[in-house]
């Protein structure tokens, strides 16, 4: 029922995963390993969202506070 798919953006080499109260932003390193580069914590697991096709923004609905929010993803 939760509408937050695991998203892999090959162009930006990033994976977005929602698990329980967190949204994890994961990068694949050059050696094939993965690293959590950021995580967003919420007070509920009613979080819905995805990233834009170009991988520039994470957009999510935070049900507890009843609002949409965007999170710009910056790549180094």
Q: Which residues contact 63 (CB under 8 A, 6 or more apart)?
A: 44, 46, 47, 48
pTM for this predicted structure: 0.85
Confidence of residue 17 (pLDDT cuts 50, 70, 90): very high
2 — pLDDT class (breaks 50, 70, 90) = low
Contacts for 8 with CB less than 8 Å, ≥ 6 apart: 14, 15
């Amino acid at each position: 029922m939760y509408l937050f798919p695991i998203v892999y953006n090959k162009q930006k080499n990033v994976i977005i995963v929602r698990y329980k109260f967190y949204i994890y932003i994961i990068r694949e390193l050059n050696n094939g390993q993965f690293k959590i580069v950021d995580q967003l914590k919420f007070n509920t697991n009613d979080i819905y969202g995805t990233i834009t096709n170009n991988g520039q923004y994470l957009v999510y609905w935070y049900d507890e506070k009843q609002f949409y929010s965007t999170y710009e993803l910056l790549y180094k």
